[in-house]
Amino acid sequence: MTGTSGRLLFVCLISFAFLPALSQNVTVTPTTISFGNQAEGTTSSIHNVTLKNGQSTAITISGITTTLSDYSATNNCPVSPAILAPAATCTISVTFSPSALGTRSGTLTVVDTGTSSPQQVTLTGNGTAPFLVSIAVTPTTASVAAGYTQQFAATGTYSNGTTQNLTTTASWTSSNTSVATIKAKTGLATSVAQGTATITATSGTISGSATLTVTAAILTSIAVSPSTATVPAGHAQQFTALGTYSNGTTQNLTGAVQWISSVVGVATVNGAGLAVGLSQGATSISASAGAISGSASMSVTPPVLSGISISPASASIAKGTTQQFTATGTYSDGSTQNLTATVNWSASPATVATMGSGGSATGAGIGTATITASSGTISATATLSVGQPVLVSLAVTPASPSFALGTTQQLAATGTYSDGALWT
């Protein structure tokens, strides 16, 4: 029996010798975490740390902290007064949000009632500059008439949630330059022709876009010409209206606009831009289309002589006699005036007729003469025919004869003619 007992004891000792050794400490795994590069202001993915109670007795955890605020730790571990049973584990989740550029080092510390407390994990990470994640172009949609401009703005959003105005640093392009062009570094788009274009702002590989719709060109101004005009009452002045559009083109709108005279007693204007001066004064001639208008100044002076008429238009007299002519002036406003005493009178040829002041013509010789009345550049003519002189008086001599009955007395008769000639 003694021998058998000895063999059994030896087998038992060998069996105990090969049992795995139990850990008697509280441990964390892993003990080092490297987060690598992380953009400032952003948060890394989660790294898990396992806390294991390797003791044969329960432990109480009093604190799980990090030494740098860049590192955040959350856990499912039972914190005092709860306990972590022997051989039990819990998880601590750690993230990295760098608050500055460069190396950011910290330590995760677990404080508990275990014999190896505190347990620590070394934390390392590198804060890098935030990067652009998106570009927003505003306005997102815009509509302008051809020839107008539209300012776009580009706002960049970065990995840390901050934003920055990239309008002057982004590269701007238009998808259809025949519809709209855009300045590469300002975001100012100029519409060219009717249509739609996509406006894009790009920085590196990040871009954003907006839609620009270009409508037909619109009227922006009207120019009335001539800009100033002076006419006598009764005369007309033609005005024209030239429209300029948002795309820089022009068009004659004379027959399409609404014409107005500001003082209708001075001048009137018809639908074709023809203004007529009525009386002395000043007025404004305006052309308008919708809300767009233009104007010119018009001065009306007193009426001017536009024509002269002579009456009679033709006459016949005997040599030596006279004919009275009358000159009537017609003015630009349609009025008339007797100008007989103020015009210049002349007769041609002077051998046939001579003119006295006041339109009196005297037949000087047999024939036809042209009678002219003139005032400045305005003149008129009439025809005067001069015929043979006519007997105007007869004288008998002796005027009072006296002679005896039965005797005779010679009498003489002398005729006086219109030209002054005497005939016996």
pLDDT of residue 417: 60
Identify which of 303, 304, 300, 301 has the alpha carbon closest to the alpha carbon of residue 284: 300
Query: Model confidence over 121-160: pLDDT tens digits?
Result: 999 999 999 999 999 999 999 999 999 999 999 999 999 8
Residue 254 pLDDT level (bands cut at 50, 70, 90): very high
Residue matched to tokens 């559009």: 245
DSSP-derived letter for residue 354 is: E
Residue 384 pLDDT level (bands cut at 50, 70, 90): very high
Q: Report whether pLDDT(23) > 70.
A: no
Mean pLDDT confidence for 276-304: 97
Q: Report whether pLDDT(21) > 70.
A: no
**Residue 305 tokens, joined:** 């002589």
Give the phi and the psi of residue 313 in degrees, each rounded to 5. -70, -25
Architecture of domain 20-128: Sandwich (2.60)
Q: Please answer whether residues 77 and 58 qualify as being in contact, where contact means their C-beta atoms are separated by less than 8 angstroms.
A: no
Given this structure, which CATH class describes domain 222-301? mainly beta
H or E element at residue 407: none
Residue matched to tokens 């009955």: 405
pLDDT of residue 15: 37
Query: Model confidence over 406-422: pLDDT tens digits?
Result: 787 676 676 676 556 66
Q: Over the Cα atoms of the chain, what is R_g?
A: 61
E strands, 113-166, in order? 119-128, 132-138, 141-145, 149-151, 153-158, 163-165
pLDDT of residue 415: 62
Q: Residues near 422 by Cβ (< 8 Å), separated by ≥ 6?
A: 414, 415, 416
Domain extents in the chain: 20-128, 132-215, 222-301, 305-387, 391-423
Residue 424 pLDDT level (bands cut at 50, 70, 90): low
In the chain, what is the greatest distance between 2 CA atoms, to the nearest angstrom? 243
**Residue 152 tokens, joined:** 């776009």
Amino acid type, 283: T
Going from the C-alpha of 172 to that of each of 165, 176, 325, the distances in angstroms are 14, 12, 87
Residue 12 pLDDT level (bands cut at 50, 70, 90): very low
Amino acid type, 38: Q
Query: Model confidence over 219-248: pLDDT tens digits?
Result: 999 999 999 999 999 999 999 999 999 999
The C-alpha atoms of residue 80 and residue 311 are separated, in whole angstroms, by: 136
CATH of domain 305-387: 2.60.40.1080
Identify which of 159, 157, 160 has the alpha carbon closest to the alpha carbon of residue 170: 157
**Residue 335 tokens, joined:** 């009025």
Query: Model confidence over 295-340: pLDDT tens digits?
Result: 999 999 999 999 999 999 999 999 999 999 999 999 999 999 999 9
Pair type for strands 258-261 and 240-245 = unpaired
pLDDT of residue 126: 97
Q: In percent, how much of the chain has pLDDT > 70?
A: 91
Q: Report whether pLDDT(423) > 80.
A: no
Architecture of domain 132-215: Sandwich (2.60)
Q: Report whether pLDDT(49) > 60.
A: yes
Identify which of 241, 293, 286, 289 has the alpha carbon closest to the alpha carbon of residue 263: 286
**For the chain, first and last CA: distance in Å?**
220
pLDDT of residue 411: 66
Three-state SS string over 260-298 comes to EECCCCCEEECCCCEEEECCCEEEEEEEEECCEEEEEEE
Q: Please answer whether residues 395 and 369 qualify as being in contact, where contact means their C-beta atoms are separated by less than 8 angstroms.
A: no
Q: Please answer whether residues 362 and 318 qualify as being in contact, where contact means their C-beta atoms are separated by less than 8 angstroms.
A: no
pLDDT of residue 197: 98
pLDDT of residue 357: 82
pLDDT of residue 20: 40
Q: Residues near 20 by Cβ (< 8 Å), separated by ≥ 6?
A: none
pLDDT of residue 78: 95
Mean pLDDT confidence for 208-225: 97
Domains 222-301 and 305-387 share a fold: yes
Pair type for strands 141-145 and 206-215 = parallel
Q: Residues near 327 by Cβ (< 8 Å), separated by ≥ 6?
A: 308, 309, 310, 338, 339, 340, 343, 345, 359, 373, 380
